[in-house]
Amino acid sequence: MKKHNFSAGPCILPPEVLLKASQAVVDFDNSGLSLIEISHRSKPFVDVMEKARALALELLGLEGKGYKALFLQGGASTQFLAVAYNLLENKAGYLNTGTWSNKALQEAKLFGDVQEVASSKDANFNYIPKGFEISSDLDYFHCTSNNTIFGTQLKSFPKCDIPMVCDMSSDIFSRELDFYRFDLIYAGAQKNMGPAGTTLVVVKEDILGKVSRQIPSMMDYKKHIGSGSMFNTPPVFPVYVSMLTLEWLKNLGGIKAIEEINNKKASLIYSEIDLNPLFKGFASKADRSTMNATFTLENDNLKETFETMLKEAGINGLNGHRSVGGYRASMYNALSLDSVKVLVEVMSELESKA
Ligand SMILES: *Cc1c(COP(=O)(O)O)cnc(C)c1O
């Protein structure tokens, strides 16, 4: 039986994408060769890379607006330093909304002054700080759109007249935003796009080339742009699978269509969390993530029963991160509404048993 996969990352991908990707590993487009044994400079792979880059911009509505899309290696964690390498001359501002944004902030400190613009650490990051000011003398402002671990999500973005950089690893392509407000977006593939091993970077070209330091080639966005995201051997398989997922999303109707489904999934689980007295939500209601729902059991004595029921229902990956505890239902684009229905049934069945 296929499991209901609520894993936080790496995580669920569309079944048709997995099937096509597995076939390409054996025989890529009836070429008699595997996708992973051909030259990355060959036309078939260059076409894959170009298509993936174009689809990313198209889905975000950023075509022809001065942006370039790159598929790089090193995960979102490498972008924590690449961003600072390329953009931090004197001082940058960071919004601290959890583990990942704090890591990004710490890396940036290696390159210049960093101001923590606001933080929700005082409440174990269960909310998004609001009403803070972003000084216009900063080189850039950095935020994390969705806090994968704590289950909070920025519903609106601050007014900002300096370049805005956003780590969208866990909610890219999940909801409509005015992406043009961002000057640099990055996202590790393994949350909503593909296998681990590549990171999407979407950057507005005119913010680059303004720092005085020398940038090593592999860290230099301009170099990667100049070489068509092929400065060195790209991670061919993760890029291919990401391309397939983006194609899948486009055929589905794009971000607008998936957002409707994502909202349905989120309201289903959150109404169960709110109505079922056995459970308690972690994130503050106004800031709840549509991607990662965090919650705990009110009574730990029910833990074993609940977890046995989850297992019997074929539910995988529901354990919360150790810094929150309890449970986390990650509901990325490829997770069906039916999987959420199964989880909600188990939760309400627990209530009838207790
Ligand atoms: C998972 C995650 C990361 C880390 O990504 P890696 O690709 O493992 O470096 C960074 N930011 C956010 C928001 C994440 O969810």
Task: Give the tens place of pLDDT for each residue, 272-328.
Answer: 999 999 999 999 999 999 999 999 999 999 999 999 999 999 999 999 999 999 999
Cis omega before residue 10 (within 30°)?
yes
pLDDT at residue 274, rounded to an integer = 98
Q: Tokens at residue 351, please?
A: 């209530």
Q: How far is the CA of 99 from the centre of ligand 1 (A)?
A: 10
- Residues whose CB falls within 8 Å of the CB of residue 284, separated by 6 or more in sequence, listed in order: 126, 127, 128, 152
Q: Using DSSP, state whether 109 is helix, strand or coil.
A: coil
For atom 4 of ligand 1, the residue with the nearest CA is 76
DSSP annotation of 320: P
> 15-252 with 255-353: one CATH topology?
no
For atom 8 of ligand 1, the residue with the nearest CA is 75
pLDDT at residue 215, rounded to an integer = 98
Q: How far is the CA of 42 from the centre of ligand 1 (A)?
A: 31
pTM score of the predicted model: 0.98
Bridge partner residues of 166 (DSSP): 143, 185
Q: Which of 167, 171, 220, 287 is catalytic?
A: 167
Q: How far is the CA of 185 from the centre of ligand 1 (A)?
A: 13
Contact 304, 326 (CB under 8 A): no
Write out the binding residues for L-glutamate: 41
Write out the binding residues for pyridoxal 5'-phosphate: 76-77, 100, 148, 167, 190, 232-233
Is 167 a catalytic site residue? yes
pLDDT above 70 covers a percentage of the chain that reads 100
Tell me: pLDDT of 1 over 80.
no
CATH of 15-252, one of 3.40.50.1820, 3.40.50.300, 3.10.20.30, 3.40.640.10: 3.40.640.10
Tell me: pLDDT of 203 over 90.
yes
pLDDT at residue 66, rounded to an integer = 98
pLDDT at residue 294, rounded to an integer = 98
Give me the architecture of the 255-353 domain, per CATH: Alpha-Beta Complex (3.90)
Q: How far is the CA of 169 from the centre of ligand 1 (A)?
A: 6
Cβ of 198 below 6 Å from ligand 1: no
Domain ranges of the chain: 15-252, 255-353
pLDDT at residue 23, rounded to an integer = 98
Q: Write down the mean pLDDT value for the chain.
A: 97
Bridge partner residues of 328 (DSSP): 294
Cβ of 168 below 6 Å from ligand 1: no
pLDDT at residue 73, rounded to an integer = 98
Cβ of 191 below 6 Å from ligand 1: yes
Cα distance between residue 350 and residue 318, in whole Å: 16
Of 252, 265, 262, give the one whose Cα is nearest residue 342. 265
For atom 2 of ligand 1, the residue with the nearest CA is 169
Q: Which tens digit of pLDDT belongs to each residue from 142-154?
A: 999 999 999 999 9
Is 248 a catalytic site residue? no
